[in-house]
Structure 1
Amino acid sequence: MVQLQPKLSTDIWTNATWKQFLAIVDDPDYAKTKGYYFNGQMKIETVEVAPDHASDNGIIHVAVTLFCALKGISLKGLINCSYRKTEVREAQPDSSYYVADRISLAPQGSSIVSLDQTPPPDLAIEIADSSLNDDLGKKRLLYEDLGVAEYWVVDVENTQTIAFQIVDNGSNRITQSQVLPGLNISVLSEALSMSRQMDDSQIVAWLMTNF
């Protein structure tokens, strides 16, 4: 008689060893999920992206890229890139960026980024639809330990961007980006709100005027 394996609980933090975590993220059945590991716990997030989540992710990426292009700031963006510190932590932000002189440190290739050899990005962003409390809570602690300089959470329901500067393994709320000097976080929130009524080309035109 074949014994069925218990179904994994997704979208919640569960106790797991590093070996158990790797077994899940390497399982083809979970190929379309996002994996996080922190303090002896893992979270496997199912990827069911609703239109507002997808739109906000696109708006933020365009806004960051456009701002840097207009301001002459070098930028390398990575969408849904996984960062792994072996046996310690793993994260897969919706988007992440290496900025200015650090773009030379941005990883390349087809493998998960190893933080054993590669420095973390300057900016990590999570788009929070149903995961807002976790993104502001445990994931923020994860990104503090990951060593990014700045962490943004996009609150899809309330069309706002909540930004944190990370210094000495702690984070502080900020209203202006420190890794992208001159970028007011309120402009991003306003663009998200406007995107509910306007098309993308109108949003880009408005951003260009503001930047």
Structure 2
Amino acid sequence: MSQLKTVIPTDTWFNTTWQDYLEILEPIEGEKGKSYYYKGKSRLEMSPLGNDHGRDHLIIIIAVSLFASLRGIPINGTDNCTYRKTGTHQMQPDVSYYIGDKANIIPWGTSIVDLDVYPPPDLVIEVANTSLADDKGEKRLLYEDLNIQEYWIVDVQNLEIIAFKIVDGGSKRITDSQVLPGLAMSLLEETLQRTRHNDQSQVINGFLSQLR
């Protein structure tokens, strides 16, 4: 790590080699935070996530999983899972899902998902409280490069779901999920809005009543 400063910057992209990036990760593994690597740059997000981020994070996981279950769509999701294409890419999204015939493609016991061996997840979700600009910018480019099928950004402050489908290395805004047919972003936004005035049991009951 000869060229790295003693104090590692967080919540910003900075130039590093792949090897330096791996060395940076060693002493902070197990701490609360996430890391990304793309085109010779690293990003470490070590700041506390807080109540607002955490609650929206949880309600989105519950809503997506319930929708898939009720619609009979095979799905397996992960929370802050690490995906790596050695030497070029690493991502650690808030939430990610393998869907349909790929639901069980990652074997049990896998730690870091090797993207040189396995396909990327079908759906990636970032929950943005203070990271919105980056989630719409550099991370979006990273996910385009990895050919993620669908990418959602949960805008905590504005109660909005910014969703993209990714095709041929580019992304386009969508209002209805392509990987979870029948799930409208407006339904998820209404669910988020209810969290500001109701407990989670009431929120989920409202979500389920709309699905039925």
- The TM-score with structure 1 as length reference comes to 0.94
Q: Percent of pairs identical after alignment?
A: 49
Is 1:140 matched with 2:140?
yes
Q: Following TM superposition, by how much is the alpha carbon of 1:43 offset from its aligned partner in structure 2, in angstroms?
A: 0.3
Aligned residue number for residue 199 of structure 1 = 199
CA distance in 2, matches of 1:147, 1:179: 14
Deviations 1:42-88 (A, max 9, x none): 00111411111000001100110110111111110111001000001
Q: Which residue of 1 aligns with 2:6?
A: 6
Deviation at 1:107, TM superposition (A): 4.4
1:48 equivalenced with 2:48 (yes/no): yes
Aligned to 1:66: 66
Aligned amino acid, residue 83 of structure 1: Y
| Larger displacement relative to structure 2 (51-60 or 105-114) | 105-114
| 2:52 alignment partner, SS class | helix
- Which residue of structure 2 lines up, in the alignment, with residue 150 of structure 1? 150
Q: Distance in 1 between matches of 2:106 and 2:162?
A: 25
Q: AA paired with 2:32?
A: K
Q: Cα offset for 1:125?
A: 0.4
Once the two structures are superposed, the pairs formed by residues 1-211 of structure 1 within 5 Å of their partners are 6-28=6-28, 31-211=31-211
Cα separation, 1, equivalents of 2:190 and 2:117: 38
Q: Deviations over 1:73-105 (max 9, x none)?
A: 111011100100000110000010011111131
Structure 1 pair 108–29 and aligned structure 2 pair: CA distance change class (3 A): closer
**Within 2, Cα distance between the matches of 1:164 and 1:139?**
12
Aligned counterparts of 1:175 and 1:107: Cα–Cα separation in 2: 32
3-state SS of paired residue (2:97): strand
Give the TM-score normalised by the residue count of structure 2: 0.94
**Alignment gaps of 5+ in structure 1:** none
Q: Which runs of 4+ in 1 moved over 4 A?
A: none
Query: What is the CA deviation profile of residues 159-205 of structure 1, one whole-angstrom value per residue up to 9, with x for unaligned ones?
Result: 11110000011000000000000000111111111101011111111
Q: CA RMSD in A?
A: 1.3
| Aligned counterparts of 2:29 and 2:145: Cα–Cα separation in 1 | 29
